[in-house]
Amino acid sequence: VTFYNNKKDIKRGDYVHVVIVTVDDYGRSRDMGGDFFSAFMSSDSLNKSTAGRVVDYGNGTYSVLFYAAWSGEANVHIALIINREGVQFLKNVIKNEERLITYTAEYSNGTSTEIRQCALVNEGVWMNQCEYGNQHAMGKTVIICDKPQNFSCDQLQNITAKVESMNAAAAAMITDVKDDFD
């Protein structure tokens, strides 16, 4: 991860541009996009944060743009939520099992948090939900979360899946495959 613009020249109202270049376990550049990143910039002293907009160039390189809404120091947080291979698994294997794995979203403004439930959805119509996706990675498949009462959808800090939920989904898939062969 590198800063595209000079950190000392960023002023309130500018965009902070961070570039992510992905590599494999052996340090070789990845030549395909499709990874799903979460990004936010925060200031603990000012209790402010802003979500980053992730742009996938489809070649293993990503840009993250943050709006510099305040003056002073800021911390940049970028997390790989799920890699391309995991996204492909979700699209190709779990695709027909919508809402099989439940996710938990945490929204925060730096001083308080709110937890909401989320699900992977391939199609449909929904209201009063926050929608997160990456067209290059997930196509029309998105993660939808119950809209928080006290926060905007942009104040998402992270999305997690409990191990128990993933184990239950795996067990259900194994049972389905086993039944097909019996």
Structural domain count of the chain: 1
169 belongs to a structural domain: no
- Quick one: what percent of the chain has pLDDT higher than 70? 82
pLDDT at 145: 92
In a domain, 31, yes or no: yes
Confidence of residue 182 (pLDDT cuts 50, 70, 90): low
Q: Is the pLDDT of residue 125 over 70?
A: yes
Instruction: Determine, yes or no, domain membership for 181.
Output: no
> Looking at the predicted structure, is the pLDDT value of residue 5 above 80?
no
Q: Are 18 and 61 in contact (CB under 8 A)?
A: no
Residue 116 lies in a domain: yes
Tell the burial category of 142 from Cβ atoms under 10 Å away from its Cβ (0-12, 13-18, 19+): buried
Domain extent at residue 33: 2-163
Q: Is the dihedral of CA 6, 64, 42, 13 positive or negative?
A: positive
Residue 177 lies in a domain: no
In this prediction, residue 122 carries a pLDDT of: 73
Residue 95 is assigned to a structural domain of this protein = yes
Q: How far is CA 129 from the centre of its chain?
A: 15
Residue 24 lies in a domain: yes
In CATH, what number is assigned to the domain containing residue 96? 2.60.40.10
Q: Is residue 64 part of a domain?
A: yes
